[in-house]
Amino acid sequence: MTKTEIRKRMEMLRSSLTHDDVVSRSMAIEKSLTSLKAYEKAAVVFTYASFRNEVSTNTIIQKALNCGKRVAVPVCITKDKVLLPCEIESLDDLVPGTWGIPEPKEGKHKVIECSEIDLAVVPGLSFDRQFNRLGYGAGYYDRFLPALRKDAIKIGICYDFQLIEQLPSEPFDIPMDGVITESTVLIRPGIK
């Protein structure tokens, strides 16, 4: 299948999930993510703010804040097609922004340096067992991920049906260090 075909299929499958499906699967993913040593050691966690039927990150954000971690979420700058990591102090800081994606509200845009991020929780329409990611196609994360420190851990989270054997990949694609679904935890050797 082409990238376009995979995107359409994954969007269709994801949109068919019920609210209860999203909640239960997201809870299992959050539990696996927060059990990782890389999560425990991370002082600054970057995560997307979920919308529609994406894996919910609300519990991930709340748990990190409760543990005293600094949390940043992306703000899309459409003019430049870039993501800016902005620190938040509460889920209440988020309001619908670009494309309806939750972003920090006006006055809460505290941009942090990419070099401060220890762990990045990355969305995708699909991931594969070689740690490749397929996004929505706009390239925001393709431009954002290379700006992270080399030792920053990148974890893709998705539902079981979004993890496939092999995705078409390009030389500029940035592989993840791990992929977590509700029933699978794939971590590169050497990553804890």
Q: What is the CATH number of the domain that holds 63?
A: 3.40.50.10420
Task: Give the pair of three-digit tokens for residue 117.
Answer: 């991020």
- Over 80: is that where the pLDDT of 168 sits? yes
Please report which confidence band the pLDDT of residue 151 belongs to, taking 50, 70 and 90 as the band edges: very high
**pLDDT tens by residue, 67-102:** 999 999 999 888 888 999 999 999 988 988 878 889
Structural domain contains residue 192 = no
Structural domain contains residue 70 = yes
pTM of whole model > 0.75? yes
Structural domain contains residue 123 = yes
Q: Taking residues 183-187, what's their average pLDDT?
A: 96
Q: Taking residues 125-131, what's their average pLDDT?
A: 97
Q: Which residue has the higher pLDDT, 127 or 80?
A: 127
- Over 80: is that where the pLDDT of 159 sits? yes
pLDDT of residue 28: 98
Structural domain contains residue 153 = yes
Residue 19 domain boundaries: 3-187
How many angstroms separate the CA atoms of 165 and 28, rounded?
A: 21
pLDDT of residue 192: 65
Structural domain contains residue 10 = yes
Structural domain contains residue 125 = yes
Q: What is the mean pLDDT of the chain?
A: 94
pLDDT of residue 105: 87
Structural domain contains residue 146 = yes
pLDDT of residue 173: 85
Structural domain contains residue 62 = yes
Number of compact structural domains in the chain = 1
